[in-house]
Amino acid sequence: MTLKAAAVPTTLSVDLDRAVLALSDALDFIGVDEIGHGHRVALMAAMCASALEWEPERIHLLVQAGLMHDCGVSSTREHRAIINELMWEGEHAHCDRGFGYLGAVPPLAHLAPIVLEHHTPWEQLCHRGVDENVALIANLIYLVDRADAVRSRGVAEGRPVVDILSRYEGSHFAPELMAVFREEASREAFWFAQEDPTLRERVVELAISGDPVLLTMSEIKALAVMFGRIIDAKSPYTERHSLGVATVAIRLGRHFGLSAMALDMIEVSALLHDLGKLRIPDELLEKQGPLTADERRRMARHAFDTFEVLRRVFGDGPVAQWAAFHHEYVSGHGYPFHREAVNLPLEARIIAVADVLQALAQRRPYRQPLKPEDIVAILDGMVFGGKLDRDVVAVVKADLDTYWHDAVAQEGAEPSQ
């Protein structure tokens, strides 16, 4: 059978507000059983800010920062620590990481200084003379973030939460912010609003403002690299996985003569293919030995979760599909969509092969990285079993060293130009 490349659009239209909103869902997945933290922080902060009569543009900035504030956290273990402790040593590590991630994405770089300071006590912000606008937004996020953490630990909404945070008034939280929070949090309505479906509906209204801000392809790629890094930071075993898959996929795409647009899109898809893995607890991702039926189901849904987030950023066309089909088999027996071969475009097959190659070339909890010759035997077995595309695997085998180095390369973290 001749491999057919998919028909690709001539432009990729991505609106910044919608992308931030959809990707914040992926970040909120990290809570696993306690999802929605970023949404609640954004909404609580916006409710306090409108009581303070902040300008709409400033509230929009606050909401964006609220949705992205914990982008430096990838692991479910670290997320648990953040929710279970009020203040703890090392809390700034995720602020520094978030600052680094956001600073590298031009349309989000203005959020970086806010995210950097979202666990900095108010006294320190004043002492260091941090820009007043940044300081107030960061401190408001800090305050409602801790309110959500305290409530998630089982402290009753309203007065009990306020009483705990009031101990830190002046030292950690700005008195004017504490005053407005005290007022807002005394109303049941403030807490009722933090529950779905109200939470989601209000956050959508707050996050999508006015005219769309369409991103250029290099901005889209920078955003995809940022989320690729977040996904890869989830476990030491997946370090650089998404970046390696993207590097391999681009080279394969070139070999098959894909257009420049299709190459850009395959790069973005490859960087984001494991987005849904943010929802898998670290313990399960690193589990050695066989999985139970329930654990297998949890693992299998990651490609579906990838699709659900990406269709909201890119629509349900090629980018979302190529990314989400990385566990589909040419036999039609893959998961979770069970696509038939005829509905599995070349680009999806390329990402599937690149994914397997990168994973085999990397250390896993249960084994060392495999050598090229062992990888070939496994790839051949997967072709024989109807899992991977024969022609794509043949291209990898013909230039194995190059592809193997692409998969594990330590350089090349930047998006292609």
Distance CA 30, CA 102 (A): 18
Query: Rounded to the nearest whole angstrom, what is the least distance from the CB of residue 148 to Fe ion in the complex?
Result: 7
Minimum CB distance to Fe ion, residue 38 (Å): 7
* Cα–Cα nearest to 271, from 314, 335, 301, 236: 314
Shortest CB 231 distance to Fe ion, Å: 9
Please say which residue, 118 or 219, places its beta carbon nearer to Fe ion.
118
Give the nearer residue to Fe ion in terms of CB position, either 28 or 219.
28
91 versus 157: smaller Cβ distance to Fe ion: 91
Q: C-beta of 184: minimal distance to Fe ion in Å?
A: 18
Distance of closest approach, residue 78 Cβ to Fe ion, in angstroms: 10
SS3 46: helix
> What is the closest distance, in whole angstroms, from the C-beta atom of residue 267 to Fe ion in the complex?
15
Least distance CB 82 / Fe ion (angstroms): 6
Contacts 24+ apart (CB under 8 A), 72-75: 72/96, 72/97, 72/98, 72/99, 72/100, 72/101, 72/115, 73/27, 73/30, 73/97, 74/30, 74/230, 74/231, 74/232, 74/233, 74/234, 74/278, 75/30, 75/233, 75/234, 75/235, 75/282
Nearer to Fe ion, 25 or 355 (CB): 355
With respect to Fe ion, which residue has the nearer C-beta, 184 or 355?
355
Q: Provide, rounded to whole angstroms, the least separation between the CB of residue 141 and Fe ion.
A: 8
Q: Which of 322, 391, 355 is nearest to 9 (CA)?
A: 322
Contact 302, 337 (CB under 8 A): no
Q: Toward Fe ion, which CB reaches closer, 276 or 318?
A: 276
Q: What is the dihedral of CA 63, 64, 65, 69, to 10 degrees?
A: 100
Output the six-digit token pair for 278.
């943010």
When the beta carbons of 215 and 359 are compared against Fe ion, the nearer one is: 359
Q: How far is the CB of 296 from Fe ion (least distance, A)?
A: 16
Between CA 349 and CA 147 the distance in angstroms is 46
DSSP H stretches of helix in 104-187: 112-116, 122-128, 132-152, 159-166, 175-185
| Tally of CB atoms within 10 A around 18 | 17
> Closest separation between CB of residue 40 and Fe ion, Å?
9
- Assess contact for 412 and 240: CB atoms under 8 A: no
Is the Cβ of residue 237 or residue 256 nearer to Fe ion in the bound state? 237
With contact defined as beta carbons under 8 Å apart, do 25 and 181 qualify? no
Torsion of CA 380, 382, 383, 385, to 10 degrees: 120
Q: In the complex, which residues of this chain contact Fe ion (CB under 5 A)?
A: 70, 145, 274, 355
Supply the minimum distance, in Å, between the C-beta of residue 153 and Fe ion. Answer: 13
Is 37 or 215 the residue whose CB approaches Fe ion more closely? 37
Cα Rg of the chain, angstroms: 22
List phi, psi (to 5°) of 156.
-65, 145
The nearer residue to Fe ion, 141 or 263, going by C-beta atoms, is: 141
Q: What is the DSSP string of 297-354?
A: HHHHTHHHHHHHHHHHHH-SSHHHHHHHTTT--TTS--SSS---GGGS-HHHHHHHHH
Among residues 25, 31, 33, which one has the least CA distance to residue 68? 25
Nearer Cβ to Fe ion, position 215 or 356?
Answer: 356
Q: Report d(CA 314, CA 322) in Å as an integer.
A: 12
